[in-house]
Amino acid sequence: MKVLITGSNGLLGQYLVQRLAGHPDYEVIATGRGANRLRMQSGYTYESVNLANESAVKVLVEKHQPDVIVHAGAMTQADDCERNKDACWMVNVTATRYLLQGAEKAGSYFLFVSTDFVFDGLSGPYSEDDPVNPINYYGASKVAAERIVKQSKTPWGIARTVLVYGLADDPRRSNIITWVKSNLEQQKKLKVVNDQWRTPTLVQDLAEGIRLMLDKKAEGVFHLSGKDMLTPFDMATQVAGYLELDTRLLEKVDASTFKQPAPRPAKTGFLINKAVQELGYDPHSFEEGLKVVVEQIRSK
C-alpha cells in the first residue's frame, strides 16, 4: 500500500514515517516544507512541498498515485492561529481541499488528523457523535476542514486526538515531560494550570492508532487519545514524582493566570470506546507513556 504522509517533519509525522516505513505492507512518501529534518533518512521517499500551492499538490499526488493520503500537516499552535488567521486557514483548510481534490482523482483513501479543540470544553470527555462547537480559531479551522473531508467523494477517515506528547528528533522541540524535567532540575519554579482537563496522548499510540485505521481503511470519525483524564498540573506532578524532582517547585494556577490570544476549552478529553472496539486501539496510561519518553531521553 502506497501511503503519502503530510507534515512528516512534525512530531506525529516523524513517528508515522518510522512506524509505516518499517512495515512490509507500506511504501511511504513523506512530505514536508523544506528539507527532510528526520533522523531516519532511509526506507522512504521524501518530497518537499508547499501544501498551500494548488499546482504543487496536484503534481505531487499525480506523480505518486498514493493508495492512501494521511494529512497530518497543520498549523497547530492555537495562539499562532489566533494571531495569523489567514495563514491558519490556508494551511488547515485550503491545503486540505487541495489534497482532497488529488485524492478524489487518484481514488485514495484520505485520513485527516484533527483535534479536541473542535469542542467547547463544557461537557468533556467527548464521543465521536458529540456536536462540535469550537471556541478558538484553530478549532474553527479544523471544523471547517473536517466538513470538507466529510463532503468529499473519496473514502475518508478522521482521527481526532488530544494533547500529543513525545520525544521529537529535534532536541529544541519541547513537551510537557522535557519542560518539567529541565526546569525542576534547574530548581526553577513552575506555574502549571489545574483547571483544564485532557486525555494526553503518547505520540507512538497515535501513530499506531492511525496505522490501525489504515489497515482497515476505516471510515468515519475515530477518537484516538490516552485514557487518563488529567490536568497539566497532574501531569507535571507525575513527571516530577517519577524523576524524583522537587514537586514543591510546582504551583497550581488557573488558566486566567496566562494571557493567551486563543481561549482554551476547559474540559475536553475523549471517550475512546469506538477505537478500542473497532480498531483494537490500546493506548498507554500516562504513567506508562511517561516511562517510555524518559527511557528515550536517557537512551539519547
Per residue in 29-63, pLDDT (tens digit) is 999 999 999 999 999 999 999 999 999 999 999 99
**Tell me, what amino acid is at 295?**
E
Query: Residue range 211-223: average pLDDT?
Result: 98
Pairing mode, strands 68-71 and 109-115: parallel
Q: Give the pLDDT band (50/70/90) at residue 172.
A: confident
Q: Cell numbers of 273, please?
A: 470506546
The CA angle 128-130-134, to the nearest 5 degrees, is: 105
At residue 300, does pLDDT exceed 80? no
Grid coordinates standing for 235? 501531569
Domains of the chain, first to last: 2-166+200-226+269-284 (3.40.50.720)
Residue 5 has pLDDT above 90, yes or no: yes
- Mean pLDDT, all residues of the chain: 96
Q: Which three cell numbers stand for residue 287?
A: 504513567
Confidence of residue 84 (pLDDT cuts 50, 70, 90): very high
Alpha helical stretches, state H, 135-285: 137-150, 176-185, 203-216, 232-242, 273-279
* Inter-residue contact 262 to 85 (CB < 8 Å): no
Q: Which of 197, 205, 193, 195 shows the shortest CA–CA distance to 161?
A: 205
Residue 56 near residue 101, CB atoms below 8 Å = no
pTM of the model: 0.97
